[in-house]
């Protein structure tokens, strides 16, 4: 029965939405292409950074990196700058997983649920679909950034250069490398954090309307852009806040463990709430 539910979700939740995937790819490509414009500035101000070719890893990190730890500056104020590319990237991925699970309860999904006689199978299928959909959109963002980089002459590589500290609003004195970073570990940690956030959103959507859960996650993510704390999971989806890039960053191992804890907790909490939810008399949302 689980396989039937999951096949139904893949077909209707992913396969039937090529336009959404296409719009997402175009959005990620345009966001990644912005890095080409910033390169022109860096070449004028710091020509020493460009003795080696720009890589596709630079483009990917520019899209997903976020911003470094916010610090106070002499005379008042802070170094905070809103990471617009990052917040757009994350919010689109969360939005892509927002409505399908509960729209499904208004159609064929409700019939399948009634025939199966168990809510646990339906919920497990939706959790696995959310994971697959999040990973698919994340890989789409990765492919779009790589394509953007190649279109503008970047070398295919997941090595990123430290000149990006300016774009990521990171203190140059805290960088962990004088030249390059290997960002493969951060590639996987960001994916894990996005999966955790998507499942948390799914669990919240059982208790409140999906739109409200999305707004709550948006506020949670915005708080994370200003405050660096393990309690704000968005920090682990932001490579610029990692100790692999900056000495003031958070431990990626701690981030991975917290993400796994949130994933398990969201699945169990959502299941408990869904078992008590009135889906036959309500609107399923």
Domain ranges for the chain = 2-275
pLDDT number for residue 281: 55
pLDDT number for residue 47: 73
User: What's the chain's average pLDDT?
Assistant: 91
Please write the tens of the pLDDT for every residue from 31-75: 999 999 988 887 777 776 667 789 999 999 999 999 999 988 887
Rounded Cα distance between 173 and 56, Å, is 25
Rounded Cα distance between 12 and 211, Å, is 21
Rounded Cα distance between 103 and 27, Å, is 24
Rounded Cα distance between 40 and 37, Å, is 6
Q: Which residues in the chain show pLDDT less than 70? A: 48-50, 109, 115-117, 280-285
Rounded Cα distance between 23 and 27, Å, is 6
pLDDT number for residue 283: 47
pLDDT number for residue 127: 97
Question: CB-side exposure of 143: number of CA atoms within 13 Å?
Answer: 11
């Amino acid at each position: 029965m689980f396989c039937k539910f999951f096949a139904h979700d893949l077909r209707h939740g992913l396969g039937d939405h090529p336009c959404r995937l296409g719009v997402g790819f175009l959005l990620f490509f345009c966001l990644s292409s912005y890095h080409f414009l910033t390169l022109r500035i860096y070449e004028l101000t710091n020509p020493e950074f460009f003795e080696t070719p720009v890589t596709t890893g630079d483009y990917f990190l520019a899209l997903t990196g976020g911003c470094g730890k916010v610090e106070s500056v002499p005379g008042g104020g802070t170094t905070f700058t809103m990471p617009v590319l990052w917040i757009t990237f994350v919010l689109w991925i969360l939005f892509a997983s927002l409505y399908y699970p509960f729209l499904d309860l208004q159609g064929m999904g409700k019939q399948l649920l009634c025939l199966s006689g168990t809510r646990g199978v339906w919920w497990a299928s939706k959790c696995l679909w959310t994971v697959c959909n999040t990973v698919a959109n994340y890989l789409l963002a990765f492919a779009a950034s790589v394509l953007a980089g190649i279109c503008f002459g970047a070398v295919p590589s997941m090595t990123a250069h430290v000149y990006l500290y300016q774009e990521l609003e990171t203190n140059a004195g805290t960088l962990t490398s004088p030249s390059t970073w290997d960002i493969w570990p951060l590639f996987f940690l960001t994916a894990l954090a996005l999966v955790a956030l998507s499942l948390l959103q799914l669990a919240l959507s059982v208790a409140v309307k999906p739109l409200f859960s999305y707004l709550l996650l948006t506020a949670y993510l915005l708080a994370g852009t200003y405050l660096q704390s393990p309690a704000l999971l968005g920090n682990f989806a932001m490579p610029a806040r990692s100790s692999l890039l900056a000495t003031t960053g958070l431990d990626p191992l701690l981030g991975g463990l917290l993400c796994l804890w949130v994933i398990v907790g969201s699945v169990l909490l959502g299941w408990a709430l869904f078992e008590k939810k009135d889906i036959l008399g309500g609107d399923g949302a």
